[in-house]
Amino acid sequence: MYIRTPEEFAAAVTVGTTTETLTLDFKGTIDHRLPKGTPDHVKQKAQQETCRDITQFANTSGGCLLIGVAERLDPVTHLKVAVAIRPVKEPDAMRQWIEEAIRNYLVPATFSHDIALVAVPRGTVLAINVPPSIHLVTLWDSQHHTIKCVYRTNHGKAYMNPDELERHIMNGSRASKLAFDLALKDAPTREVRVAGGYWERVGNPPVKEPHRWFPEAPVIVGRVADQWFQLEFKIGGVTRSLILPFGVVEQAWYGGDERVHLILSVRVVHIVLGNELTVEPYA
């Protein structure tokens, strides 16, 4: 979820109803204007906390941090609910303070983000929009030589342990999944085209080399999980699914024909005997 205009804000947030989600976070205000003489560590703590709120989205699925929206914890659902608009005072100064915080504490500080000043009836709300990052964005405290890696859950921020950190860094399919998700979001349908088409053969092991196969209906993207996605085929009037890991996706994009296009490192094969869908390496 990204919010850049009053219309997008009005569509996304209803006071008293809207809850925080995996891609939406509320914050009433931040301490960007501290009294003269305030110890440096107080400012550092405030900037680091804001950076945690930002980097959680970069390391997960992207999202929007809204500053100027107060929230409370619902005792029944245990979700935070927007309860009031608290317009930001001196929004330009706050935006500069946030950019300074990012330069001071986030690595790499060049990760994609934008800060929009959104006019609402009572004043201005700051919307920090953060797309998901292919690379891990860390909170680096050079003074104390500590690194923290934050990610987002449906209930707020969480911190990666060493095992989770290693898995995130070694996740070579994250870039493929992000490209796939973006293409699927842009496409008006869930139809997909696979470069090189589909193949068919008889027998397993093969009786002969596979030949081109044309499914009887357009192939559709089914369920999409963190590590895999489904392709759905019509075969003999029945829908059959093939689950593929994102690791086999070499490229994904939204095509001019308004479908998702994929280049896979394997070819999709329909085995006639047994009516099985599988994948095989290219010869």
Q: Are residues 108 and 68 in the same domain?
A: yes
Q: Total structural domains in the chain?
A: 2
CA atoms of 216 and 186, how far apart (whole Å) = 25
For residue 200, being part of any structural domain is answered with yes
Q: Are residues 71 and 135 in the same domain?
A: yes
Per-residue pLDDT of the chain (283 residues; tens, 9 = 90+): 899 999 999 999 999 999 999 999 999 998 767 666 667 778 888 899 999 999 999 999 999 999 999 999 988 888 899 999 999 999 999 999 999 999 999 999 999 999 999 999 989 999 999 999 999 999 998 888 899 999 998 878 999 999 999 988 888 889 999 999 999 999 999 999 999 999 998 766 656 678 899 998 999 999 999 889 999 999 988 999 999 999 999 999 999 999 999 999 999 999 987 788 999 988 7
Q: Are residues 148 and 184 in the same domain?
A: no
Whole-number pLDDT of residue 209: 77
Q: Are residues 103 and 16 in the same domain?
A: yes
Q: Are residues 90 and 37 in the same domain?
A: yes
Whole-number pLDDT of residue 162: 92
Residues spanned by the domain of 24: 6-170
Q: Are residues 271 and 153 in the same domain?
A: no
Q: Are residues 45 and 108 in the same domain?
A: yes
Whole-number pLDDT of residue 246: 94
CB-facing half-sphere around the CA of 173: CA atoms within 13 A: 17
Whole-number pLDDT of residue 52: 95
For residue 262, being part of any structural domain is answered with yes
- pTM of the full predicted structure? 0.80
Q: Are residues 165 and 187 in the same domain?
A: no
Whole-number pLDDT of residue 205: 61
Give the 3-state secondary structure of the chain: CCCCCHHHHHHHCCCCCCECECCEEEECCCCCCCCCCCCHHHHHHHHHHHHHHHHHHHCCCCEEEEECEEEEECCCCCCEEEEEECCCCCHHHHHHHHHHHHHHHEECCCCCCEEEEEEECCEEEEEEEECCCCCCCEEEECCCCEEECEEEECCEEEECCHHHHHHHHHCCCHHHHHHHHHHHHHCCCCEEEECCCEEEECCCCCCCCCEEECCCCCCEEEEECCCEEEEEEEECCEEEEEEEEHHHEEEEEECCCCCEEEEECEEEEEECCCCEEEEEECC
Q: Are residues 153 and 190 in the same domain?
A: no
At 247, list the tokens.
């690791």
Whole-number pLDDT of residue 30: 87
For residue 224, being part of any structural domain is answered with yes
Final residue in a domain of this structure, among 142, 170, 198: 170
CATH number at residue 68: 3.30.950.30
Final residue in a domain of this structure, among 147, 170, 193: 170
Q: Are residues 67 and 155 in the same domain?
A: yes
Final residue in a domain of this structure, among 170, 204, 228: 170
For residue 140, being part of any structural domain is answered with yes
Q: Are residues 16 and 150 in the same domain?
A: yes
Q: Are residues 57 and 121 in the same domain?
A: yes
Whole-number pLDDT of residue 77: 85
For residue 60, being part of any structural domain is answered with yes
For residue 175, being part of any structural domain is answered with no
At 176, list the tokens.
């493929």
